[in-house]
């Protein structure tokens, strides 16, 4: 590679190339070139003599300019410690702000429940109910939409429990009221008009989007 000409760290890139050549099945030539380009780019930007001089700050600086190379550097960072090099944090990502996520989840849930209470159209009500169950209880929307009457247990005082034999999700009063209003009486709780298939994820998202203030 031209980028390696005259560089002391070229010996490290050549060793890395030999390592990549040992893959079975072999890597595609384009993939090898991409991996080598990322490694040489990091070493060149870091201005170190050898790969042993690399530090996390060099990786951060390089990825600020070449963010698309994060995945391409992962193989290089995994190989370096095996030949006595440093351990670099290439795939480290910022931890999510859990408090902010909790606030957003609560805000979204309140909006969905308010829209559910105001809904008069059965199809829209079912879509909002499914979205609220998924959002509040962190159940995949596809699983919620596949809900059948056999997955629901109706209590004597208006309570509703879903998947009683597995998840045992007890709906809060506002959601239970929405379930009793909009859940279909057929086998599927959230059917489309022909009652043979459940609502699609896209349909639910459409109704949720329209319900936003």
DSSP symbols for 84-135: T-----SS--PPP-HHHHHHHHHHHHHHHHHHHHH--SHHHHHHHHHHHHHH
The DSSP secondary-structure symbol of 198 reads: B
The answer to whether position 150 is within a domain reads yes
Cβ atoms within 10 A of the Cβ of 7, count?
Answer: 18
What is the predicted pLDDT for the residue at 93?
Answer: 55
pTM comes to 0.53
What is the predicted pLDDT for the residue at 98?
Answer: 57
Residues 109 and 176 in one domain: yes
What is the predicted pLDDT for the residue at 120?
Answer: 92
- CA 32 – CA 18 distance, rounded (Å): 10
The answer to whether position 203 is within a domain reads yes
- CA 16 – CA 80 distance, rounded (Å): 9
CA distances from 4 to 73, 81, 92 (A): 17, 21, 27
Residues 111 and 190 in one domain: yes
Which residues of the chain are modeled with pLDDT < 70?
Answer: 1-3, 92-99, 101-102, 194, 213
Domain end call among 83, 107, 131: 83
Domain end call among 52, 83, 114: 83
What is the predicted pLDDT for the residue at 19?
Answer: 92
Range of the domain at 10: 2-83
Residues 146 and 195 in one domain: yes
Residues 179 and 103 in one domain: yes
What is the predicted pLDDT for the residue at 155?
Answer: 86
What is the predicted pLDDT for the residue at 180?
Answer: 94
Residues 74 and 145 in one domain: no
The answer to whether position 88 is within a domain reads no
What is the predicted pLDDT for the residue at 130?
Answer: 94
Residues 143 and 197 in one domain: yes
For the chain, what is the domain count? 2
Phi, psi of 147 (to 5 degrees): -60, 135
Residues 152 and 73 in one domain: no
The answer to whether position 92 is within a domain reads no
Residues 198 and 104 in one domain: yes
Residues 107 and 205 in one domain: yes
What is the predicted pLDDT for the residue at 70?
Answer: 86
Residues 15 and 47 in one domain: yes
What is the predicted pLDDT for the residue at 136?
Answer: 86
């Amino acid at each position: 590679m031209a980028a390696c000409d005259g560089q002391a760290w070229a010996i490290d890139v050549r060793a890395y190339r030999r390592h990549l050549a040992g893959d079975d099945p072999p890597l595609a030539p384009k993939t090898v070139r991409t991996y080598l380009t990322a490694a040489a780019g990091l070493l060149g930007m870091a201005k170190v003599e050898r790969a042993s001089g690399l530090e996390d700050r060099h990786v951060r600086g390089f990825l600020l300019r070449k963010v698309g190379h994060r995945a391409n550097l992962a193989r290089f960072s995994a190989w370096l410690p095996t030949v006595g090099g440093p351990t670099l944090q290439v795939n480290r990502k910022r931890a999510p702000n859990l408090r902010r996520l909790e606030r957003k989840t609560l805000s979204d849930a309140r909006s969905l429940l308010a829209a559910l209470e105001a809904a008069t159209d059965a199809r829209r009500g079912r879509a909002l109910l499914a979205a609220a169950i998924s959002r509040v209880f962190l159940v995949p929307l596809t699983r919620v939409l596949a809900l059948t009457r056999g997955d629901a247990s109706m209590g004597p005082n208006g309570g509703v429990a879903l998947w009683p034999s597995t998840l045992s999700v007890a709906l809060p009063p506002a959601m239970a009221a929405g379930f009793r209003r909009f859940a279909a009486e057929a086998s599927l709780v959230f059917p489309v008009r022909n009652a043979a298939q459940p609502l699609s994820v896209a349909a639910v998202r459409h109704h949720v989007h329209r319900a936003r203030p």
